[in-house]
Amino acid sequence: MDWSYTIWIPLLPLIGFLIIGFVGRKLPYPIPGLIGITGIFGALVLSYITAYKYFFVVNADMTFEPIKAVETLWMTFSDKLHFNMGVLLDPISVMMLVVVTTVSFLVHLYSLGYMKGDPGFGRFFTFLSLFTFSMLGLVIATNLFQIYFFWELVGVSSYLLIGFYYEKPSAILASKKAFIVTRFADFFFLIGILVISYYTETFDFLTLNGMSESALASAGSTSFMGMSVLALGLTLAFVGGAGKSAMFPLHIWLPDAMEGPTPVSALIHAATMVVAGVFLVARLFPMYYHVDGGIVLSIIAFVGASSSLIAAIIATTQMDIKRVLAFSTMSQIGYMMLSLGVSGYDGHHGLGYTASMFHLFTHAFFKSLLFLAAGSIIHAVHSNYMTKMGGLRKHLPITHITFLLASLAISGIYPFAGFFSKDAILDAAHMHSPIYFWIGWFVAGLTAFYMFRLYFRIFWYEDREYHHTPHESPLTMTVPLMILALLSVVSGFIFFYILPFGTYITPTGEEFHMHIDWTLAGLSLAIAVVGIFIAWFMYFKKNNKAEKVANSFGMLYKWAYNKFYIDEIYMFVTKKIMFGVVSAGWMWFDTKIVDGSMNLIGNTTVKTSYAIKKLQSGKMQDYVLAVVVGAVALGAIFIYIWTR
Amino acid sequence: MNILTLLVVIPALTILGLIFTKGYKQARVLSAIGMGLQFVATLYLVYMYFQARGAGNTDAFLFDQNLVWYKSLNIHYHVAIDGIGVLMILLTSVVTFAGVFASWEVKDLTKEFFIFLIMLAMGVFGFFIAQDLFTMFVFYEIAVIPMYVLIGIWGTGPKEYSAMKLTLMLMGGSALLLVALLGIYFNSETATGLHTFDMQELSKMHFPFAFQKFFFPFAFVGFGVLGALFPFHTWSPDGHASAPTAVSMLHAGVLMKLGSYGAFRVAMYLMPEGAVYFANFFLVLTGFSVIYGAFVAVRKTDLKFINAYSSVSHVGLILFALMMFTKTAFTGAILQMISHGLMTAMFFGLIGMIYGRTHTREIYKMGGLMKILPVISATYVIAGLASLGLPGLSGFVAEMNIFVGAWENPNLLNRVFSVIAISAIVVTAVYILRVVGVLLMGPLKNPEHANLPKVKWFERVVIILLMGSIVGMGTMPLWITDTIRDSLIPIMEKFVH
């Protein structure tokens, strides 16, 4: 079958980007948006066709072989290492194509309404198309360098979109922070790529994943600080992934990234770009599993679990609704990482891998829905703070219902989407180690609590007076909400019972049967219900219970509210030490020592010449005197020597 | 006429013609025509080169022309070119052509300004095609001397100090270089018993190790001063800060490349064992300068100083790559010469456009220019992104070749300094985004800047020429890397033991 048309999936948004960027930016509303939407719609259709053909036509025998649809040499590094660009189709990349194009299309549609009247409307769609192109290029990457290429491009699109309101100082700071923190992580990623490619002599994913355990062991026979070099390289690559996916302690950029327009938060900082780290680990999963007996996976599991827990704790205390959702995103991505980290390889042991991808899939829908609904709320209330909200269910009926459905989905209530994927993750964690299960279980409770804290606080709590009466958003905004709500409700159910994920997306390609362990599921359902109940108790009606509870936690609450002061630590290290001491010190060294010594040489030359120029006075008597004195002195020396 | 000689003749004729022009309009139009012709000739050279290669010509050097100049000393006017040279000529041509448009509004002594500017360019063109060390040195000096005049007369700020400092330090470098060239000359032996300056003949000889050990540092540091080798880089910030826009563009864009190109093509090529002997020393120096320049740039507040220190960092990366002795790293070094040349010329061009409007280069005295000057600001952002190595732009292509090439050298010291040099990608992001944040974003800081004139047509020409090249190189690097790799084959033979 000819797959070469798949190259158009990323190219259509690229063409959209070029058209809007060069000619369409200044056109009147809504033409730039329509150009962008046309591009992404084309990509959406092609992705769906590809998914259908890949899963149901070509691989009807359930083998799911990876297919290199297109591959071309882009740049030669050396005789062994080539930088190729291509399209790799395998279960996870095809799934990602569907996720990215779906969410991106809906976000484009939503933005048509949300960004109406903004002077940067054309610019917004330019960047959005650039992002979509980059993200699609990332998921279809055939090799490490291609993924790095698009990895940087999504980073810069994210930078441009976070700083979209470029006259706002907080947006400038947030965009800088996001770029620099992820860049710092990418520095490790790049070194990881260099290490891996140096020892395996390839960038190609299929070759890397196809290497047997013994081949990997011999390629990575050099050891570095107790780890084989390949394990080191994979760890470094994971650091890059952790930066992009906002894992602790590289998460500090994500909450600030909420300065961007809300549709951007929904697309980039909830559904697509932030899961790139998870995708990277999944992409190289066979290699992660086989190098050094999966030592790197245990690091990943630990990072995932701790990020998940820390983020959930912080989320319960934040007041800005977008920041709550940001920490929620971080927490859910922590789940995905944990799930990959605890996963085995063959058959049912590969559940963690499957569960991670499943959760990525469902999370994309309900989290982008939550963000878009939050955007609708902010659009109506003109504030991000939940203290400025309350009783909105009457004013925003569609937003209210969709937000509720998404909250139920993320809280893991049966039969909403989150239940199935989260249950699979907890199941996988339980197979690996009970500790991870209990952490995940506790986080599930926190998730239900903070989500319903938001829900009750925004839509119930009190019927307050608004300065401008809030009104429901236009159809371009509510239709995407309704579509995503539908997906949030059914995507778990469908992909568990009808087209089970375990059949289509597994580490080895072999299918296994997914089932629900009702003991574990019951436990997680129970804690979710408890979480919802506590939230109801505290936030259903206006009261001061929340404050009391906060006070009773004392220091812990304060720490969590201030995000455990991690930002402050970073600021101290970068501002005070790196740029205060190192940078200023080197600048002093440059002007005083390096340049100073050059000036010293220059000045000394000048002074010396001033000093000796007096000898050349131009007066005859001085010269005669010098001749006489010289002759006498020479004569004295000669006489002294002769008479010795 | 030989196509290479034509590249020297066109600027020479332009200079001659300029002498007879009257008024600034005639001078600038004639300069634009002359450099336009030069640009066309360069494109024709590129076409001829690929046609010859495509026809199966595998000689290392093409378009050879060899005329006796001083018979008794065996000095020849010998020109020829390989793929690397073709690319450097292309770079020079683009930057020079853009430089003429960047000087479109020079109104005092316009005729003289363009005469010296084009003389500088002529020196650079001659340098890249010369195969005879003496001829090369002559062109080198032709390129360096006009700088003094250009900065001293048309410069800004403490221009006399800067011009003097730049010229003296570069002359110091030339002195070291001359020692090395004469050393090579007097140690060469040909069949006829005469000494020679001819690089193609010299490359076939093997100089004794003791000789190489002694003379390599002279040649490398001599060229290195012009290539901003740490700690001999301090002429560059002062010099660039005082120089007029086009001079900064040409100087940082191409003249500094003479240093790194010469260090590679003369010092390392003729004395490979000396290079290997001193590799670790220069590795430490250059690796450090990469991160050093970046960190100093973080603290600077004058746009030209920021870019000058950024250049110290980026040019340091070229010399750093040369110390890796792998083909990929050498490819990366050449790519970085081209990429940095385009980027820094773009930056200096943009800084000139901004300075011409606001009359300040202090970033904290400006702010919010994005709204007022959208084209210039957007270009500045893209140039900044190229500088921090964004894929799809030229910086990425060069840096990735250098990093992959650096990693191919498995010595521990090389690994350590590779990591240090790579970490500069983070610091680069810091200083680039800082400028973008302070200068371009934010609310308008100075109300006097609210009505700055929009971008003019000749400024658009500068932007299109340079930005087009940056994007072209960043998106279609294959033909460039392959051209360089082909031309590196004879050079690599020197370093395989």
pLDDT for the residue numbered A147? 93
Chain B residues 136-165 with a CB less than 8 Å from chain A: 165
Task: Take residue B487 and report the two structure tokens written for it.
Answer: 């031309």
Specify the pLDDT at position B497. 54
Q: Are A51 and A45 in contact (CB under 8 A)?
A: no
A74 phi, psi to nearest 5 deg: -105, -40
Between CA A619 and CA A290 the distance in angstroms is 91
Q: Do the bridges between strand B75-81 and strand B62-70 make them parallel or antiparallel, or are there none, so unpaired? A: antiparallel
SS3 B302: strand
**For residue A113, what are its two tokens?**
């309404």
CB-count burial class (<10 Å; 0-12, 13-18, 19+) for B394:
buried
Characterise A336 by phi-psi region: left (phi > 0), alpha (psi -120 to 50), beta (else).
alpha
Q: DSSP letter string over A360-377?
A: HHHHHHHHHHHHHHHHHH
**B407/A582 CB distance under 8 A:** no
Cβ-Cβ contacts under 8 Å, A172 against chain B = 437, 441-442
How near does any CA of chain A get to the CA of B232, in Å?
8
Residues 591-630, chain A, touching B (beta carbon < 8 A) = 594-595, 598, 602
Contact B146, B116 (CB under 8 A): yes
CB contact A77 to B (< 8 Å): yes
Distance CA B189, CA B358 (A): 59
With H, G, I as helix, E, B as strand and everything else as coil, classify residue A413.
Answer: coil
Q: Would you call B430 and A180 a contact, using CB atoms and an 8 Å cutoff?
A: yes
> Which residues, 6 or more positions from B102, have their beta carbon under 8 angstroms from its beta carbon?
B245, B246, B249, B349, B352, B458, B459, B462
Nearest CA in chain B to A203: B404
Token pair in block for residue A589: 């060294």
A19: number of Cβ within 10 Å: 18
Inform me whether the C-beta atom of residue A590 falls under 8 Å from chain B C-beta atoms.
yes
B426 lies within 8 A of chain A by CB: yes
Binary contact (A167, B434; C-beta < 8 A): no
C-alpha A550/C-alpha A544 separation (Å) is: 10
Dihedral sign computed on CA atoms, order B49, B53, B59, B60 = positive
Residue of B nearest to A83 (CA): B478
The answer to whether the beta carbons of residues A417 and A489 sit under 8 Å apart is yes
Q: Do B400 and A595 touch (CB under 8 A)?
A: no
What number of helices (H) and strands (E) belong to chain B?
21, 2
Cα Rg, chain A, nearest whole Å: 31
Residue B59 DSSP one-character state? -
pLDDT digits (tens, 9 = 90+) for A259-273: 889 899 888 888 888
Q: Do B390 and A587 lie within an 8 Å CB cutoff?
A: no
Q: Do B437 and A172 touch (CB under 8 A)?
A: yes
Cα dihedral B171/B172/B176/B182 (nearest 10): 40
Three-state SS letters, A132-143: HHHHHHHHCCCE
Residues B478, A76: C-beta atoms closer than 8 Å: yes
Shortest distance between the Cα of A417 and any Cα of chain B, in A, equals 37
Three-state SS string over A289-306 comes to: HHHHHHHHHHHHHHHHHH
* Cis ω for the linkage preceding B231 (within 30 of 0): yes
Look-up of token digits 């065996």: B74
Closest CB from B391, B429, B482 relative to A149: B391
pLDDT digits (tens, 9 = 90+) for A444-473: 999 999 999 889 888 888 777 777 777 888
3-state secondary structure string across B321-370:
HHCCCCHHHHHHHHHHHHHHHHHHHHHHHHHHHHHHHHCCCEHHHCCCHH
| A72, A76, A160, best to mutate vs chain B, most B CBs in 10 Å | A76
Residues of B in Cβ contact (< 8 Å) with A166: 370, 440-442
Query: Which residue from A150, A191, A198 is facing B419, i.e. has the nearest CB?
Result: A191
Question: What is the sign of the dihedral through the CA atoms of A257, A262, A265 and A267?
Answer: negative
Task: Give me the total of CB pairs closer than 8 Å, taking one residue from chain A and one from chain B.
Answer: 125
Give the residue numbers spanning the domain of B154.
3-495
A8-to-A65, A143, A259, A374, B411 alpha-carbon distances in Å: 22, 19, 32, 33, 44
Q: Is-contact B254 B92, C-beta < 8 A?
A: yes
Interior angle at CA A266, CA A264 and CA A270, nearest 5 = 115
- Give the span between the Cα atoms of B352 and B68, in whole angstroms: 43
Instruction: Say if the Cβ atoms of A75 and B422 lie within 8 Å.
Output: no
CB A443 within 8 A of CB A331: yes
Alpha carbon distance A233, A231 (integer Å):
5
Q: List chain B pLDDT tens, one digit each, 497 residues.
A: 788 888 889 999 998 888 888 888 888 888 899 999 999 999 999 999 999 888 888 888 888 888 888 888 888 888 899 889 999 999 999 999 999 998 888 888 888 889 999 999 999 999 999 999 999 999 998 988 888 888 888 888 888 888 888 888 888 889 999 999 998 888 887 777 788 888 888 888 888 888 888 899 999 999 988 888 888 888 888 888 888 888 889 888 888 899 999 999 888 988 888 888 998 999 999 988 899 889 888 888 888 899 999 999 999 999 999 999 999 999 999 999 999 999 999 999 999 999 888 888 888 888 888 888 888 999 999 999 999 989 999 999 999 999 999 998 888 889 999 999 999 999 999 999 999 988 888 888 888 888 888 888 988 999 999 999 999 999 999 999 989 998 888 888 888 75
Query: Which tokens hold the place of A538?
Result: 């505290």
What Cα–Cα distance (Å) separates residue A86 from each residue in A13, A70, A73?
16, 5, 9
Q: Scanning every residue of chain A, which has its alpha carbon at the shortest distance from the alpha carbon of B404?
A: A194
Q: Per-residue pLDDT tens for A545-580?
A: 777 877 787 788 788 788 788 888 888 887 777 777
Cut 0.80: pTM above it: yes
Task: Please tell me the total count of domains within chain B.
Answer: 1
Mean pLDDT, residues A230-236: 90
